[in-house]
C-alpha cells in the first residue's frame, strides 16, 4: 500500500462507511434533537432571566448574576458530569440525554441572559420614555419597543454563542448519549478503522453549516434601516 492508499483506507474506507452509515444517521437524529432542545430551552430561559432582571428586584438580580457567573465560568463538560454522576447521589438519576440537554441549556441560558441584558441596556432610555409617555406599561414597553431592538442587536453574538454551545452536544458521548460522536467512536472500535469519524465530522458539517448560514440570514433579515 502506498501512503496515499493507506490514508484513503484509514479515513475514507467506503466499505466501512457504508456499513456504519445507518448508525451515524441515528446519532445524527439524536444530535439534532438534543441541539434543538438546548437552543430553544436555553435561549428561552436566558430571555426570561433578562426580562426578570429588568424588574430590578435586588435579591432576584443578585441571584441571576450569581447563576450567570457560575455557569459561564464552569466548563460545560464539568456540568454534564456533575449532573449525570452526581445526580443519583441526590436521588435523581437523569438519563445521559437529559443530563446533557439540561446542562447545556443552563450554560447557554447563562450566556444568553448576559447577551440579552447587554442588548436591553443598549436601547436608549428615550425609547422607554417615549413608550411609557403614551401609556404603555413596563412589560408592554419591553415587549413591543425594547426587546425587538435589543434582540436585533444581539443576533450576532447570540448566534456565535449558540453554535458554540450546541456543538457541545458532542460531550454527551461521555455520558452514554448515542449522538454523532459516540456512534462514530463505537463504529471505530468495532471496525478497527477510523473512517466512521470522517463520516461523523461530515455529519456535523451537514448540521452546522446550515445553522451558520441561517444565523447570517437572520442577521440581515433583522437589520432595519436606520
CB of 224 to another protein, least distance (A): 5
Decide if 51 contacts 178 (C-beta within 8 A).
no
Q: Which of 48, 61, 132, 163 binds another protein (CB under 8 A)?
A: 132
Q: Which of 4, 5, 56, 126 binds another protein (CB under 8 A)?
A: 126
**For another protein, which stretch binds (CB under 8 A), given 19-27, 50-58, 93-101, 128-136?**
128-136
CB of 222 to another protein, least distance (A): 9
Contacts by 167-173, CB closer than 8 A, 24 or more apart: 167/204, 167/208, 168/76, 168/77, 168/104, 168/107, 169/31, 169/34, 169/35, 169/38, 169/100, 169/104, 170/31, 170/204, 171/76, 171/77, 171/80, 171/100, 171/104, 172/34, 172/80, 172/96, 172/97, 172/100
Distance of alpha carbon 92 from alpha carbon 183, whole angstroms: 26
Q: Which of 88, 148, 205, 221 binds another protein (CB under 8 A)?
A: 148
Q: Which of 43, 64, 145, 170 binds another protein (CB under 8 A)?
A: 145
Task: Give whichever of 28 and 116 is closer to another protein, judged by the CB atom.
Answer: 116
- 55-to-60, 103, 137 alpha-carbon distances in Å: 9, 27, 12
| 2 touches another protein (CB under 8 A) | no
Task: Give whichever of 144 and 190 is closer to another protein, judged by the CB atom.
Answer: 144
Task: Tell me the three cell numbers of residue 204.
Answer: 456535523
| 153 touches another protein (CB under 8 A) | no
Q: Helix, strand, or coil here: 165?
A: helix
| 58 touches another protein (CB under 8 A) | no
Task: Give whichever of 15 and 129 is closer to another protein, judged by the CB atom.
Answer: 129
Task: Give whichever of 127 and 191 is closer to another protein, judged by the CB atom.
Answer: 127
| 144 touches another protein (CB under 8 A) | yes
Q: How many CB atoms lie within 10 A of CB 71?
A: 18
Residues that bind another protein (CB under 8 A): 124, 126-127, 129-137, 140, 144-145, 148-149, 152, 224-226
Amino acid at each position: 500500500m502506498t501512503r496515499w492508499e493507506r490514508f484513503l483506507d484509514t479515513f475514507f474506507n467506503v466499505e466501512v462507511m457504508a456499513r456504519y452509515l445507518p448508525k451515524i444517521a441515528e446519532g445524527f437524529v439524536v444530535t439534532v434533537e438534543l441541539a434543538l432542545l438546548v437552543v430553544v430551552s436555553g435561549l428561552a430561559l436566558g430571555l426570561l432571566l433578562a426580562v426578570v432582571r429588568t424588574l430590578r428586584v435586588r435579591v432576584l438580580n443578585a441571584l441571576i448574576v450569581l447563576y450567570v457567573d457560575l455557569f459561564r465560568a464552569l466548563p460545560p463538560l464539568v456540568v454534564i458530569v456533575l449532573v449525570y454522576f452526581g445526580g443519583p447521589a441526590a436521588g435523581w438519576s437523569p438519563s445521559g440525554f437529559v443530563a446533557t440537554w439540561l446542562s447545556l441549556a443552563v450554560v447557554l441560558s447563562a450566556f444568553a441572559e448576559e447577551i440579552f441584558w447587554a442588548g436591553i441596556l443598549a436601547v436608549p432610555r428615550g425609547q422607554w420614555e417615549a413608550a411609557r409617555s403614551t401609556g404603555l406599561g413596563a412589560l408592554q414597553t419591553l415587549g413591543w419597543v425594547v426587546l425587538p431592538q435589543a434582540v436585533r442587536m444581539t443576533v450576532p453574538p447570540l448566534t456565535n454563542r449558540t453554535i458554540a454551545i450546541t456543538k457541545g452536544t458532542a460531550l454527551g458521548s461521555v455520558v452514554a448519549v448515542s449522538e454523532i460522536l459516540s456512534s462514530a467512536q463505537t463504529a471505530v472500535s468495532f471496525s478497527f478503522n477510523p473512517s466512521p469519524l470522517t463520516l461523523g465530522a461530515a455529519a456535523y458539517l451537514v448540521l452546522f453549516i446550515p445553522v451558520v448560514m441561517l444565523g447570517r440570514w437572520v442577521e440581515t433579515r433583522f437589520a432595519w434601516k436606520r
